[in-house]
Chains A and B, each alone.
Chain A
Amino acid sequence: MLQNYLKIALRNLLKNKTFSFINIAGLAVGLASTMLLALWVLDEYSFENFQEKRDVLFQGKRNFKESETSIWTSSSQSGNTAEYIRKNFPEVKNAVLTDWGNNVTISYGEKSLKKTWFSVETPFFEMFTFPFVQGSAKTAFIDVNSVVLTESMAKSLFGDEDPMNKLVKINLKHSLKVTGVLKDLPKNTRFNFDYLTSIKFLDSIGETYYGWSANNFQLWVELRPDANLEAVNKKMLKVYKSNADGFSNGDLFLYPLSRLRLFNKFNNGVESGEGLNSLVSLFSIISIVILVIACINFMNLSTARSEKRAKEVGVRKVTGATRGSLISLFLSESLLITILAFGLAILMVTLLLPAFNDLIGKQLTIPFGNINYVLGAIILVLFTGFMSGSYPAFFLSSFKPIKVLKGTMQLGRGASLPRKILVVIQFCFSIVLIIFTILVYQQIRFGQNQPLGYDQKNLMYFEMPGEMYKQFTPMKQDLLASGVVMSAYSTNQPMNATGNNSWGYEWKGQKPEQKNQIFDNVRVTLDFLKTTGIKLKEGRDYSPQFMADTIHSVLVNEAAVKAMGLKNPLGEIIRRQRDGNYTIVGVLQDFVFGNPFEDKQPMMVQLMPDSQSASNVVLRLNPQKSATECLEKISTIFKKYESVAPFDYEFVDTEFEKKFSKETLLRNLAYLFGGLAIFVSCLGLFGLASFMAERRTKEIGIRKVLGASISGIVMMLSKDFLKLVGIATIVSFPIAWWLGNKFLEYYPKHINFAWWIFAVSGIMAGVIALLTVSYQAIKAAVANPVKSLRTE
């Protein structure tokens, strides 16, 4: 029986090559897009799944009340929390601090590499599943001056040598003994360190500070299996309050490790649902939509061709076929087509995966060997085959044999209505995607074209490894003398890099709730304004004339003046318990420092002496000189002061571009899948148009004999389809409006929905549809009527 079905299906496929191509190609594109997205989505959901204790691991978060209306959620904690929690929380099995990780030079002999350095407390290895290949968790950090490497780190530093007990240098100054090698980290973890040291080591070199008002550590907690998170979190709220040292330091709470990847976005202290998961679910929906569009094509073309199949249905019924057996006949046909399409889709995915990986910045592979994926693929094929075949199967099998066999069957207007509705739905999807794509593109452009408030071009920075900062003054002189550098300063934070902030300041006229006002802190040496091109709004820049600037002066930005509510900011004093008093000597015009889509944050810029430890040098390059020449000369000067560490530099404008990575990803995916959706819809439209033209051959012949012009006939044939696209356009507008605004709300600073976006997308859809349909329409219109009438 099945063999007979498949035979018929194959012969039908070969007989109607256009329809077969449209169906198979369309379904293949739909399946391929679903598979690509599925690979991505499953990868996102697999984050931290390998952690054996994933269900009991939590990150410490804290909610910080900035003002009456805004709560800021942070992951940084005071270093005292871990010890306190270990002592006072019986529900907690383990609690450890880690730092935030830095790219720091690690060297062995001649070899020097810049890799990610991360510091942890020993129980870290009990909590997280990062197994040792050499050495053990117990012994790794007995000696403070120890370092644990990942396997590939060890390999690139030591080659085939045994790394154990060898001495390496971190940041060119700290000698540490290798006491362990970890298996390389899986890709689907948030941790990305290359080597680990103990927090105790950081203590020993004086790079830690423990105070209840500090916020410089990450906190990781393992609860006992029987602990109740809600109850624990209720107690956690009091951790900072019961250790207040005059500041209000926020409310600690635990957040599941398993949610960090996808849901880690907070709005006023609660998970906002706007994390990566929103992107993931958006594109999951879109990929399913594309598959549905392809299935709709199949349904449309099958039912459109139903008159041709009707006779077969009649004959089969007369020879004893039941409706059930006919339904299985048609379903096995659609299943066969789906299987062929699936084969093609696998091929497409294999070919497209490298490009797709580039697009989303991952290294996904097709897991052919994974039984779960194979099962998933089988379910996908069955589902698609059934979905695309069900309507035609039930529709076709319902024909009454005497009607179809006597040739009196007229499907008439009623029968084509579902088809029209399906076309409208398809184009609705496509138009919504067009609008969405335009919006994303506009929003990114908006972010990129914002007035920055400083001059990004020819601005670069490099890192000063080790103790290079001690020689900053002579190096600066060398740089300026080289002719390629116009101006330079050193800083703890180059442009674009936020992350250092503090609170607890007081000023005149401060409201009580403003004690928690958070300020971004940037520390710079002289020539900050000259180098960056940031403008002064009032007051003066730092200057060597004023000796006290390094201790008693501060520059603030406009946002800070606004936040503090100062009328005449110049000369006002900002006080902080531990640090002392600062006089505002100048106000900077607002400039983009962090996220370009967020409102400008209040900021303080403080002057530090050249000799103070700073991590980076920011340079304004001479625009007259080529970039290669500049880099060459700067690199030579760098080498003069530091012969071992690599010269590691960034251009501010390329770094700025990286802030749009999520938006760029969104845009690229929207382009790709929007394009695919439109392509598949057009395939379907093309098929329908060719069917219509075929069906109306006789009518067209008669009209031509009666004197209709070719253009008139093309118009007549295209009009029907354009009407459908028109309806789709109107239906899609409110949907796109709602979706688009939801997307824009995500950005504090965003473009407005412009009416022309609707106009453009409507016209685009119309033109695409017209181009698709007109080929068939013209072909039908120019055909010789004598021929078409004779064939009747």
Chain B
Amino acid sequence: MLQLKNIFRWYNSGANRAFVLRDVSLEIQKGEFVSIMGPSGSGKSTLLHVLGMMDEPNEGQYLFLDNNVLNIKEKQRAELYKKHIGFVFQAYHLIDELTVYENIETPLLYHGFNSSERKSMVADVLDRFNIVGKKDLFPNQLSGGQQQLVGIARAVITKPDLILADEPTGNLNSKQGEEIMDLFKTLNQEGVTIVQVTHSEKNAAVGSRIVNLLDGRVV
């Protein structure tokens, strides 16, 4: 599905280059469930952002569904991203001013669905995630686990092929964490490719493959 070849990412701090990613090559097949692990500062999040096209490497090649991501136009890249990728954050990142329903609906607005399509799609997802009763609440009225549920619902509603999750259970207690991982597992079984960054061995084990990073290198 995607292929990273010799990716370098660095920041200039004064005269020195601070490398975040060094010569990372990685291939992920459709249907995989990959967990990226490593200590703090090893480059996990940066790698995830590169995969999610939110960060550009300084060197290297990135092929996504046969598109050379780094050589195509910004607009095409945005289209590619919009069509195929969903993002889940550690801190959920819901919009505080919007209700659960509206938060889940937001991506659909940007994907150009009309009002009735949006209604049925949101209703489906609410139903599936068992949060119909919460649809009119605001994020600050929900527990962390429920917020992350909404975050994932928002990520999957556009039916992406790839979900990128940045420590999705980092802010949750273990029981909530388990539920979220179960959900990812189900999604993966339905054919969605998942890449997660995690600190937890247990959560990493849920996936089909583990990639270990240390000081910006795959080990």
- The chain A residues found within 8 Å of chain B, CB to CB, are 1, 4, 7-8, 11-12, 15, 311-312, 314-316, 318-322, 325, 400-402, 405-407
Contacts A15-B97, A318-B93 given; indicate if A401 touches B54 (C-beta within 8 A): yes
Pairwise interchain contact A320-B98, C-beta atoms closer than 8 A: no
Per the bound structure, the CA–CA distance linking A312 and B97 in Å amounts to 9
Which residues on the A side are within 8 Å of B93 (C-beta)? 311, 314-315, 318, 405
Does B82 interact with chain A (Cβ within 8 Å)? yes
Which residues on the B side are within 8 Å of A321 (C-beta)? 110
**Closest A residue to B81 using CB positions:** A320
**Closest A residue to B104 using CB positions:** A319
**Closest A residue to B93 using CB positions:** A315
**A20 to nearest B CB, angstroms?**
13
- A319's contact among B45, B55, B154, by CB below 8 Å, is which? B154
A-B contact pairs, 27 of them (CB 8 A): A1-B109, A4-B102, A4-B109, A7-B102, A8-B97, A8-B98, A11-B97, A311-B93, A312-B96, A312-B97, A314-B93, A316-B106, A316-B110, A318-B54, A318-B93, A319-B154, A320-B78, A320-B82, A320-B107, A320-B111, A320-B158, A322-B110, A400-B54, A402-B49, A402-B54, A405-B93, A407-B91
**A9 to nearest B CB, angstroms?**
9
**Closest A residue to B45 using CB positions:** A406
Which residues on the A side are within 8 Å of B81 (C-beta)? 320
Which residues on the B side are within 8 Å of A402 (C-beta)? 49, 54-55
**B166 to nearest A CB, angstroms?**
9
Pairwise interchain contact A319-B106, C-beta atoms closer than 8 A: yes
Pairwise interchain contact A405-B89, C-beta atoms closer than 8 A: yes
Interface residue count for B (Cβ, 8 Å)?
25
Per the bound structure, the CA–CA distance linking A314 and B94 in Å amounts to 10
Other 4 A-B pairs with CB < 8 A, given A1-B109, A319-B110, A320-B78: A4-B102, A4-B109, A322-B110, A325-B110
Does B95 interact with chain A (Cβ within 8 Å)? yes
Pairwise interchain contact B78-A322, C-beta atoms closer than 8 A: yes
**A112 to nearest B CB, angstroms?**
73
Which residues on the B side are within 8 Å of A319 (C-beta)? 87, 106-107, 110, 154
Which residues on the B side are within 8 Å of A8 (C-beta)? 95, 97-98
- B97's contact among A12, A322, A401, by CB below 8 Å, is which? A12
Which residues on the A side are within 8 Å of B96 (C-beta)? 312
- The chain B residues found within 8 Å of chain A, CB to CB, are 45, 49, 54-55, 78, 81-82, 87, 89, 91, 93-98, 102, 105-107, 109-111, 154, 158
Which residues on the B side are within 8 Å of A316 (C-beta)? 95, 106, 110
Most buried by A among B107, B110, B111: B110
**A550 to nearest B CB, angstroms?**
91
**Closest B residue to A315 using CB positions:** B93
Which residues on the B side are within 8 Å of A315 (C-beta)? 93-95, 106
**Closest B residue to A325 using CB positions:** B110
**Closest A residue to B87 using CB positions:** A318
Which residues on the B side are within 8 Å of A325 (C-beta)? 110
Per the bound structure, the CA–CA distance linking A401 and B91 in Å amounts to 14
Pairwise interchain contact B95-A312, C-beta atoms closer than 8 A: yes
Which residues on the B side are within 8 Å of A401 (C-beta)? 54
Which residues on the A side are within 8 Å of B97 (C-beta)? 8, 11-12, 15, 312
The binding surface of chain A is classed by DSSP as: helix
Which residues on the A side are within 8 Å of B106 (C-beta)? 4, 315-316, 319
**A324 to nearest B CB, angstroms?**
11
Which residues on the A side are within 8 Å of B45 (C-beta)? 406
Which residues on the B side are within 8 Å of A318 (C-beta)? 54, 87, 93
**Closest A residue to B98 using CB positions:** A8
**B45 to nearest A CB, angstroms?**
7
**Closest A residue to B86 using CB positions:** A319
Which residues on the A side are within 8 Å of B94 (C-beta)? 315
Per the bound structure, the CA–CA distance linking A321 and B107 in Å amounts to 8
Per the bound structure, the CA–CA distance linking A31 and B30 in Å amounts to 59
**Closest A residue to B151 using CB positions:** A315
Per the bound structure, the CA–CA distance linking A320 and B107 in Å amounts to 6
Per the bound structure, the CA–CA distance linking A322 and B77 in Å amounts to 12
Which residues on the B side are within 8 Å of A320 (C-beta)? 78, 81-82, 107, 110-111, 158
**Closest B residue to A3 using CB positions:** B115
Which residues on the A side are within 8 Å of B110 (C-beta)? 316, 319-322, 325
Which residues on the A side are within 8 Å of B87 (C-beta)? 318-319
Those 6 A-B pairs whose CB atoms lie nearest each other, nearest first: A320-B110, A319-B107, A320-B82, A11-B97, A402-B54, A315-B93
**B72 to nearest A CB, angstroms?**
16
**A554 to nearest B CB, angstroms?**
86
**Closest B residue to A4 using CB positions:** B109
Which residues on the B side are within 8 Å of A407 (C-beta)? 91
Which residues on the A side are within 8 Å of B54 (C-beta)? 318, 400-402
Which residues on the B side are within 8 Å of A405 (C-beta)? 89, 91, 93
**Closest B residue to A314 using CB positions:** B93
Which residues on the A side are within 8 Å of B102 (C-beta)? 4, 7
Which residues on the B side are within 8 Å of A400 (C-beta)? 54
Per the bound structure, the CA–CA distance linking A377 and B192 in Å amounts to 54
Per the bound structure, the CA–CA distance linking A311 and B45 in Å amounts to 18
Which residues on the A side are within 8 Å of B158 (C-beta)? 320
**Closest B residue to A407 using CB positions:** B91
Most buried by A among B81, B105, B109: B109
Per the bound structure, the CA–CA distance linking A402 and B46 in Å amounts to 9
Per the bound structure, the CA–CA distance linking A334 and B68 in Å amounts to 40
Which residues on the A side are within 8 Å of B111 (C-beta)? 320
**A319 to nearest B CB, angstroms?**
4
Most buried by A among B81, B89, B93, B158: B93
**B21 to nearest A CB, angstroms?**
14
**A37 to nearest B CB, angstroms?**
37
Which residues on the B side are within 8 Å of A7 (C-beta)? 98, 102
Per the bound structure, the CA–CA distance linking A316 and B106 in Å amounts to 8
Per the bound structure, the CA–CA distance linking A315 and B105 in Å amounts to 13
Per the bound structure, the CA–CA distance linking A519 and B136 in Å amounts to 87
**Closest B residue to A10 using CB positions:** B97
Per the bound structure, the CA–CA distance linking A635 and B158 in Å amounts to 93
**Closest B residue to A7 using CB positions:** B102
**Closest B residue to A8 using CB positions:** B97
Most buried by A among B45, B81, B105, B107: B107
**B9 to nearest A CB, angstroms?**
12
**A688 to nearest B CB, angstroms?**
23
Per the bound structure, the CA–CA distance linking A406 and B55 in Å amounts to 13
Per the bound structure, the CA–CA distance linking A34 and B87 in Å amounts to 48
Which residues on the A side are within 8 Å of B78 (C-beta)? 320, 322
Per the bound structure, the CA–CA distance linking A25 and B55 in Å amounts to 42
Per the bound structure, the CA–CA distance linking A325 and B78 in Å amounts to 13
**Closest B residue to A9 using CB positions:** B97
**A690 to nearest B CB, angstroms?**
20
**Closest A residue to B46 using CB positions:** A402
Per the bound structure, the CA–CA distance linking A405 and B89 in Å amounts to 9
**A328 to nearest B CB, angstroms?**
12
Most buried by B among A314, A318, A401: A318
Which residues on the A side are within 8 Å of B49 (C-beta)? 402
Per the bound structure, the CA–CA distance linking A12 and B81 in Å amounts to 29
